[in-house]
Structure 1
Amino acid sequence: MFTYTVSVSTGKQEFAGTIDHVYLTLTGTERCSDRTLLDNSFFQRFARGTVMPIDVSVKETLGDIVLVKLEKKNFVFNDQWYCRCISVASPSGDRFDFPCYRWIASENEVVLRHGTARLPQDDKTSLLKEHRRTELESRQQLFRWKEWQPGFPMSIDANSSNELPIDVQFEAEKAVDFNESLLKAIKNLGLNKLQSLFQSSWKDIADFQEVFIKIKNPVSEYVMKNWEKDFMFGYQFLNGCNPVMISKCMNLPDEFAVTQEMVKGSLDRGLTLQEELKAGNIYIADYAILEGVRANATDPNTQQYLAAPFCLLYKNSQNEILPIAIQLSRQTPAGGTNTVFLPSDNHHDWMLAKMWVKSSDFNVHQLVTHLLRTHLTSEVFAIAMYRQLAAVHPVYKLLIPHVRFTIAINTAAREKLINKDGIVDKFVSAGGTGIVEVIQKAMKTLTYKSLCFPEAITSRGVEDLPNYYYRDDGMMVWEVVKSFVSDVVKIFYSSDETVQKDKEIQAFVKDVCFSGMKNCEFPDSLKTREQLVEFLTVVIFTASAQHAAVNFGQYDWFSWIPNSPSTMRKPPPAQKGQVDMKYIMESLPDRGRSSWHLGIIWALSQFQDNELFLGEYPDMYFTEQPVMGAAKTFRKELAEVTKIIKSRNENLRVPYWYLSPDRIPNSVAI
């Protein structure tokens, strides 16, 4: 008789253990073992966080172990078990590791391959080829594409969270309920008293301080004290929560009625507007995407409004970015019908014009920068990965930490947040039909290259903008991620030809292109290792760094509501000198919408319990030492970036930490 010692590792998550019966079959290069019941005492059977050793005896040696089959049968009731991994020690002393990291439901079976990553062309035996084919066919049945709304990126075919494949559902301690989070936020922020006055307007700007009673947030408090100042308004285009709207302006749009005479008092170099444009000192934020979008009409008692403003910004001689002209309408041809608001206008006109820009910015941030360009895009990558890459594929092993909970959080959002009559409809002016209209328009500008961070920076002409920490930190993180991806790709792909012959990676990028990102100029095939590195860097950077940059600052920058109104309840002013503070207060969100606004941005800005940050890979999908070495180097380089950012922040009035690697979660999970 020959004895194989099997070590079964159960996860540490809540409810990870099971008392069900688990059967195991070992498949070697020479023969298979009998189906063996992995049984121990009743109370020790697969307890949470344990490693259970079991001896499997066979009459003849099995050869090298290549597959492990697990079957789970009900003991008393339907149960789930989280198996981390299986390790097999052979009679000769060889060890074979089989990563699992999956939930196994009762009456299910799972077949695991040896942990060594292999490309599809590396599999030579019919047994391994068949296992690979069967695994992918099974996954393609589970992970089906569906168009949730016309013109949206494709998403998972599931109407509710409990319809999702078990392996992508939230774990017990992670389960997200937006309504529950909102109630918690209302309690924590002391908003209870506002609910009973849902449609009551605030009387004065200072009244918004009522909701700051329980806020202890240095950035929010700094915003509250300085939000009216033009330097703070301009600074947010660089390092606020939506730092992607500012672009260099070399030629003014035809619809923008701004003239030299209007802005000459704001230009401090003694140059004309045309000369400043040519010198590269003029920037613009253009919210054209909101033009023609129907404002939220879900509440029959409150009319809401949208605008599609231009905001002209000036880099002055002190390297500050300041607003110098705002136009809230865009009629063609430009002329007297387009009023341009200026810093020299009366206090109320200029204040309200800036509020309108910030309200437009809030809506574009929520629906385009945040929802579309991180959440929905990352879901496309995740679904394509599950459909086209076998678990043994090195790219699957590389990407799986970066798709963790993404499908689940997006499904929850479609159930409770962006659905008809969902939470977004309650407080956002682009809610209701506007959500679909904005996403449909934004899909026309969503391209593959726009997700490549360096190209995105170059295309907006902001390479030399001073004090642009989003750009500086983003470039550092992009290069470190790209270096890590390059190291991994070189380990498994010896040449460009290896990439071309990898049927699974080609199917993966094709699935992203044709099923998830139609007409978005995504590649439908990859020819070189360099192209593969860039593609995978886009996937990881979008899910980790880009999401962190535009998500976790929401409470910092949006909690002082006059700084970023989620909706406006009066139409934008068409002329100067016709608004007063009463009109402004009647324009801003009422008390009820203020509470919805604060509650949801608070909930979305929180790091999760047991958060895994960039480079933290506790699940050992890879077993190869070269990859482990690359991951160690990755973490070392990320730590160096963190150190650089921390040192820089010590000298800033408002520290910028959203792209500090120690605060970048691995995946879109909130």
Structure 2
Amino acid sequence: MPSYTVTVATGNQWFAGTDDYIYLTLMGSLRCSEKHLLDKPFYNDFERGAVDSYDVTVDEELGEILLIKIEKRKYWLHDDWYLKYITLKTPYGEYIEFPCYRWFSGEGEVVLRDGRAKLAKDDQIHLLKQHRRKELETRQKLYRWMEWNPGFPLSIDAKCHSDLPRDIQFDSEKGVDFVLNYSKAMENLLVNRFMHMFQSSWSDFADFEKIFVKISNTISEYVMQHWQEDFMFGYQFLNGCNPVMIQRCTKIPEKLPVTTEMVECSLERQLTLEEEVQQGNIFIVDYELLDGIDANKTDPCTMQFLAAPICLLYKNLQNKIVPIAIQINQIPGNDNPIFLPSDAKYDWLLAKIWVRSSDFHVHQTITHLLRTHLMSEVFGIAMFRQLPAVHPIFKLLVAHVRFTIAINTKAREQLICECGLFDKANATGGGGHVQMVQRAMKNLTYQSLIFPEAMKAKGMESKEDIPYYFYRDDGLKVWEAIRSFTADIVEIYYESDEVVAEDPELQDFVNDVYVYGMRGKKASGFPKSIKTKEKLAEYLTVVIFTASAQHAAVNFGQLFLGMYPEEHFIEKPVKDAMVRFRKSLDGIVSGITERNKNKKLPYYYLSPDRIPNSVAI
């Protein structure tokens, strides 16, 4: 009688093991086996991190093994089980891998197919077609779209973290506690310190130091020592936490009536302001988005205020970007003067503080929340709804949306909800942050997520003209490494443009992003469908770069980019592509490390060894 060796790997997460009964059914091209209990007498099977092997003997030939069914039935008390993978050694010496990487909650079953990635056109057997269809039908019931606020990208239909499908929740209570503790720490830092500080009088700008916890980071120490200086103010637009606002000024806007006479003490080339503009030495940062946004009024005892400043910057002879004019609000007039470096020291410093305050609000709500967190959630939900686990694009993207939906759900539950942390400690709380996202959605385009195109659109692409824009330099290298990797994956599974255009699951995924993420707005430039291999590689690069590198640039890293601990792919060409990808990333790390040597202000946010794979915090 034919005998199979079945190896079962349980996850390493907390509470991943189970005491329940685990049954296996082999589903072959000729027939299905009987249901077999996987059990070793006097041995505790399926413990956390365990790899258990079993001999399964069948009565008749099963043919080619197409699927395996795993059933979990209660033994004593309810518990969950995390199954990493199952491998099967057939009577004929063949090894078959069945990736899973899923939780079994309570009693239930899952049907797995082998780890070879397949497009829908590759499945000609009815059983496999049926399995593919049922998986998506099940997922579409679990992953439902919801409008959290009008005008927002749609999000997951869940009121709290525990409402989420088990497979996308944080791995354990420890993971959830981390988020809760993080939120509590932020609340203690921001609410208690900030509110205490702003409800009392300040005697000196040195009082700013009171709102910072003790830090040992040399960069932070350097910034604290030099934050009042113009060169540091300008440098932060290039390499700070929000390096996406600055752009080259091609014409002084009418709403900012700056003249040569006003700024001539800042111009070092003996040129007029207009001539400096023509030579590409003038830059602008405009916070028009904040104009008219309601300031936080949730606490009647504490008045909060918002500005919508415009800041003009200049590349001096040392190639440093420094501010030369600041207007606090959008409409010029006697009550809205233009502040200059030649003004009284504290007048100029206060003007810069207003710009930094506005930059904080745009960074938190738009650059960080909308353009990385919410967009990555859209990609993730669309992926789960429209791509089965066997699809190569699912296998590619699943690591890059890990925990994103969970962290965003926690944010909607605790941070950006009514009476959440934003309402307590942020001047755009109480609804202003919602207005900001609604307004920013009108200008969120697909092109703006293509990193090289975003640099060109802002006139910031030239390294020769702007030599110290490390966010751009490192970002372009990481973008190209990701693009080369995704192109390799596309080349492996799509032999022609026609195969791309005729992949119904891929097209449904892309259309879901357009319809639900961008709310079907044609002006967004998001594609409704993808017709070529080149455009598919670009699209996948946008998804991965947004979730990994762009988020890292405006946040901080956890798991490093290019590391895929869950082995969804089993094919050698893909594993070879991953090796090449990691080698490219290692080269970028080495270059950044060398550049940062002896720098007082090293830039490492886009060093691949510090880039998270996904938006997970």
Deviation string 1:208-261 (CA, Å, 9 cap, x unpaired) is 334556321111111111001000000000000000000110111121121111
Give, in angstroms, the shift of residue 61 of structure 1.
1.9
Question: Residue 429 of structure 1 aligns to a residue in which SS?
Answer: coil
Q: Write the distance in 1 (CA, Å) between the matches of 2:559 and 2:394.
A: 18
Query: Quick check: 1:17–1:47 contact (8 Å CA) kept in 2?
Result: yes
The one-letter amino acid of 1:26's match is L
1:619 is aligned to 566
Query: How has the CA–CA distance of structure 1 residues 195 and 432 changed in structure 2, closer, same or farther, with 3 Å as cutoff?
Result: closer
Query: How has the CA–CA distance of structure 1 residues 190 and 274 changed in structure 2, closer, same or farther, with 3 Å as cutoff?
Result: closer
2:275 is aligned to 275
Deviation string 1:339-391 (CA, Å, 9 cap, x unpaired) is 10000000111010000000000000000000000000000000000000000
Give, in angstroms, the shift of residue 200 of structure 1.
2.7
Query: How has the CA–CA distance of structure 1 residues 283 and 193 changed in structure 2, closer, same or farther, with 3 Å as cutoff?
Result: closer
2:413 is aligned to 415
1:575 is aligned to none
1:300 is aligned to 300
Q: Write the distance in 2 (CA, Å) between the matches of 1:50 and 1:113.
A: 22
Query: Quick check: 1:256–1:327 contact (8 Å CA) kept in 2?
Result: yes
Question: Residue 443 of structure 1 aligns to a residue in which SS?
Answer: helix
The one-letter amino acid of 2:443's match is T
1:485 is aligned to 486
The one-letter amino acid of 2:493's match is F
Question: Residue 153 of structure 1 aligns to a residue in which SS?
Answer: coil
Give, in angstroms, the shift of residue 538 of structure 1.
0.2
Aligned-residue Cα RMSD (Å) equals: 1.7
Q: Are 2:442 and 1:495 equivalent residues in the alignment?
A: no
2:47 is aligned to 47
Q: Write the distance in 1 (CA, Å) between the matches of 2:105 and 2:491.
A: 37
Q: Write the distance in 1 (CA, Å) between the matches of 2:598 and 2:497.
A: 46
Q: 1:527 aligns with which of 527, 531, 542?
A: 531
Q: Write the distance in 1 (CA, Å) between the matches of 2:68 and 2:574.
A: 23
1:424 is aligned to 422
The one-letter amino acid of 1:435's match is H
Q: Write the distance in 1 (CA, Å) between the matches of 2:273 and 2:134.
A: 65
Query: Quick check: 1:190–1:214 contact (8 Å CA) kept in 2?
Result: no
1:451 is aligned to 449
The one-letter amino acid of 1:630's match is A
1:562 is aligned to none
1:563 is aligned to none
Q: 1:544 aligns with which of 529, 548, 553?
A: 548
2:321 is aligned to 321
Query: How has the CA–CA distance of structure 1 residues 159 and 453 changed in structure 2, closer, same or farther, with 3 Å as cutoff?
Result: same
Superposition pairs of residues 93-492 of structure 1, within 5 angstroms: 93-172=93-172, 173-175=174-176, 178-184=179-185, 199-212=199-212, 214-331=214-331, 334-464=332-462, 465-492=466-493
Give, in angstroms, the shift of residue 43 of structure 1.
5.1
Query: Quick check: 1:374–1:546 contact (8 Å CA) kept in 2?
Result: yes
Query: Quick check: 1:33–1:62 contact (8 Å CA) kept in 2?
Result: yes
Size of the aligned set, in residue pairs, is 610
2:518 is aligned to 517
Q: Are 2:598 and 1:648 equivalent residues in the alignment?
A: no
Deviation string 1:122-161 (CA, Å, 9 cap, x unpaired) is 1001110000000000000000000100111000000000
Deviation string 1:247-284 (CA, Å, 9 cap, x unpaired) is 11011112112111111111000000010111111000
Q: Write the distance in 2 (CA, Å) between the matches of 1:645 and 1:162.
A: 41
Give, in angstroms, the shift of residue 335 of structure 1.
4.4
Query: Quick check: 2:219–2:600 contact (8 Å CA) kept in 1?
Result: no
Query: Quick check: 1:191–1:211 contact (8 Å CA) kept in 2?
Result: no
TM-score by length of 1: 0.89
Q: 1:632 aligns with which of 575, 579, 585?
A: 579
Deviation string 1:106-136 (CA, Å, 9 cap, x unpaired) is 2211110111000011100111000000000
- Of stretches 35-44 and 386-395 in structure 1, the one that deviates more from structure 2 is 35-44
- Of stretches 364-373 and 514-523 in structure 1, the one that deviates more from structure 2 is 514-523
Give, in angstroms, the shift of residue 31 of structure 1.
1.3
Query: Quick check: 2:190–2:425 contact (8 Å CA) kept in 1?
Result: no
Give, in angstroms, the shift of residue 298 of structure 1.
1.0
Query: How has the CA–CA distance of structure 1 residues 415 and 192 changed in structure 2, closer, same or farther, with 3 Å as cutoff?
Result: closer
Q: Write the distance in 1 (CA, Å) between the matches of 2:208 and 2:43.
A: 56
The one-letter amino acid of 2:374's match is L
Query: Quick check: 2:246–2:285 contact (8 Å CA) kept in 1?
Result: yes
Gaps in structure 2 of 5+ consecutive residues? none
The one-letter amino acid of 2:525's match is E
Deviation string 1:443-498 (CA, Å, 9 cap, x unpaired) is 01101110000000000001122200000000000000000000011000000001
Query: How has the CA–CA distance of structure 1 residues 212 and 361 changed in structure 2, closer, same or farther, with 3 Å as cutoff?
Result: closer
Query: Quick check: 1:177–1:412 contact (8 Å CA) kept in 2?
Result: no
2:61 is aligned to 61
Q: Write the distance in 1 (CA, Å) between the matches of 2:167 and 2:180.
A: 24
2:608 is aligned to 661
1:580 is aligned to none
- How much identity, in percent, do the aligned residues show? 57
The one-letter amino acid of 2:401's match is V
Deviation string 1:406-453 (CA, Å, 9 cap, x unpaired) is 000000000001001101111111111101100001001101110000
Q: Write the distance in 2 (CA, Å) between the matches of 1:349 and 1:203.
A: 16
Q: Write the distance in 2 (CA, Å) between the matches of 1:252 and 1:190.
A: 37
Query: Quick check: 2:10–2:85 contact (8 Å CA) kept in 1?
Result: yes
Deviation string 1:310-331 (CA, Å, 9 cap, x unpaired) is 0000011110101000001222
Q: Write the distance in 1 (CA, Å) between the matches of 2:397 and 2:185.
A: 33
Q: Write the distance in 2 (CA, Å) between the matches of 1:92 and 1:203.
A: 83
TM-score by length of 2: 0.96
Q: Write the distance in 2 (CA, Å) between the matches of 1:468 and 1:428.
A: 29
Query: How has the CA–CA distance of structure 1 residues 190 and 347 changed in structure 2, closer, same or farther, with 3 Å as cutoff?
Result: closer
Give, in angstroms, the shift of residue 191 of structure 1.
10
Query: How has the CA–CA distance of structure 1 residues 361 and 190 changed in structure 2, closer, same or farther, with 3 Å as cutoff?
Result: closer
Q: Write the distance in 1 (CA, Å) between the matches of 2:199 and 2:68.
A: 62
Query: Quick check: 1:409–1:669 contact (8 Å CA) kept in 2?
Result: yes
The one-letter amino acid of 1:396's match is F
Q: Write the distance in 2 (CA, Å) between the matches of 1:35 and 1:336.
A: 83
Q: Write the distance in 1 (CA, Å) between the matches of 2:456 and 2:318.
A: 23
Q: Write the distance in 2 (CA, Å) between the matches of 1:335 and 1:423.
A: 36
Q: Write the distance in 2 (CA, Å) between the matches of 1:551 and 1:190.
A: 17
Q: Write the distance in 2 (CA, Å) between the matches of 1:357 and 1:433.
A: 21
The one-letter amino acid of 1:346's match is A
Q: Write the distance in 2 (CA, Å) between the matches of 1:549 and 1:425.
A: 26
Give, in angstroms, the shift of residue 204 of structure 1.
2.3
The one-letter amino acid of 1:665's match is P
Query: Quick check: 2:263–2:325 contact (8 Å CA) kept in 1?
Result: yes
Query: Quick check: 1:117–1:392 contact (8 Å CA) kept in 2?
Result: yes
Query: Quick check: 1:178–1:416 contact (8 Å CA) kept in 2?
Result: no
Gaps in structure 1 of 5+ consecutive residues? 553-606
Q: Write the distance in 2 (CA, Å) between the matches of 1:441 and 1:170.
A: 31
- Of stretches 505-514 and 52-61 in structure 1, the one that deviates more from structure 2 is 52-61
Give, in angstroms, the shift of residue 336 of structure 1.
3.7
Query: Quick check: 1:326–1:341 contact (8 Å CA) kept in 2?
Result: yes
Give, in angstroms, the shift of residue 651 of structure 1.
3.6
Deviation string 1:280-302 (CA, Å, 9 cap, x unpaired) is 11000000000000001111110
Give, in angstroms, the shift of residue 181 of structure 1.
1.8
Query: Quick check: 2:73–2:107 contact (8 Å CA) kept in 1?
Result: yes
Q: Write the distance in 2 (CA, Å) between the matches of 1:260 and 1:665.
A: 45
Query: How has the CA–CA distance of structure 1 residues 191 and 144 changed in structure 2, closer, same or farther, with 3 Å as cutoff?
Result: closer
Query: How has the CA–CA distance of structure 1 residues 192 and 276 changed in structure 2, closer, same or farther, with 3 Å as cutoff?
Result: closer
